[in-house]
Amino acid sequence: MNNQERASSSPKIGELLLRAGKISTNVLNEALERQKKTNERLGQILISMGVISPSELAEFLEAQSSIPYIDINSYEISGDIVSILPEDFIKRSRILPIRKVDDIIEVGCVPPINPEDIEKVRLITGLKVSPYLVADNDFLQVLDRVFNVKDRAKKVISALTTGGREQEVIMSIPDSVALDNSVVSIVNP
C-alpha cells in the first residue's frame, strides 16, 4: 500500500475526534464550513474554537498516521543541525531538522506530511529520515526562535566588522538571547 492509499484509507482527523467524543457533529460541521472558506487545517480550526487542545490534536494525529508525536520544545535544536536544510525549504515544507544520529536525520513535521518532502530531505542530506509529528504552534515558535537568533547573530557580526556600532548592537540583543553563550562569545570574543 503506498502513502496515498494509506492516507485515504485511514480515518480523517474529524472522524477520529467525533468517534472519541471529543467533538460533536455540529462542531465538526461548523469547523468544516470554516475550513472551506479559509483553507485552514481542520485541527487548527478546532483548537482556535477552543474545543480541543494542541496536545489532544497531536495525540489523534499520531493515532491517525502511526508517526510518533514529540514535543519539539523539549529539544535543544542547534543552528548546525538546522542549517543542513535550506531555510526556505524548512518554512515551505514545515519540516525542521531536530538532530542527527549516525546516518539518520530526525525531523519534526507539521501534519499533513508530504512524502515527497521527506524524500527531498533524504536527497538533500544523504541521510535516512526519521519523521516525527509536531504541533503547528510549537513548530512556529521553534522556527521563530531558531531563525531570529541566526538573523541577530548575522547583524552582530556585520556591525562588528563595520566597526563603531558595538554598543548599539549589544543593546539590541534581548536578555534571553544574550545569555546564550554562543552569542556572548561573538560579541565578546
Average pLDDT (2-16) is 61
Is the pLDDT at 74 greater than 80? The verdict is yes
pLDDT at res. 152: 65
pLDDT at res. 150: 60
CA distances from 65 to 44, 86, 99, 153, 175 (A): 17, 26, 22, 38, 40
Residue/partner pairs of 120-128 with CB below 8 Å, 24 or more apart: 120/89, 120/93, 121/85, 121/93, 121/95, 121/97, 124/84, 124/85, 124/86, 124/89, 125/84, 125/85, 127/100, 127/103, 128/103, 128/104
Does 94 map to a domain? no
Which of 65, 85, 115 lies at the terminal end of a domain, its last residue? Answer: 65
Does 22 map to a domain? yes
d(CA 107, CA 150) in angstroms, rounded, equals 19
Residue-range definition of the domain harbouring residue 32: 3-65
Task: Please spell the DSSP secondary structure of 154-167, one letter per residue.
Answer: HHHHHHHHH-S-HH
Grid cell of 6 as nine digits: 494509506
pLDDT at res. 104: 96
pLDDT digits (tens, 9 = 90+) for 34-47: 999 998 888 889 99
Average pLDDT (138-166) is 72
Domains identified in the chain, total number: 2
The residue that leads in pLDDT, 180 or 148, is 148
Average pLDDT (64-89) is 88
Which of 65, 83, 111 lies at the terminal end of a domain, its last residue? Answer: 65
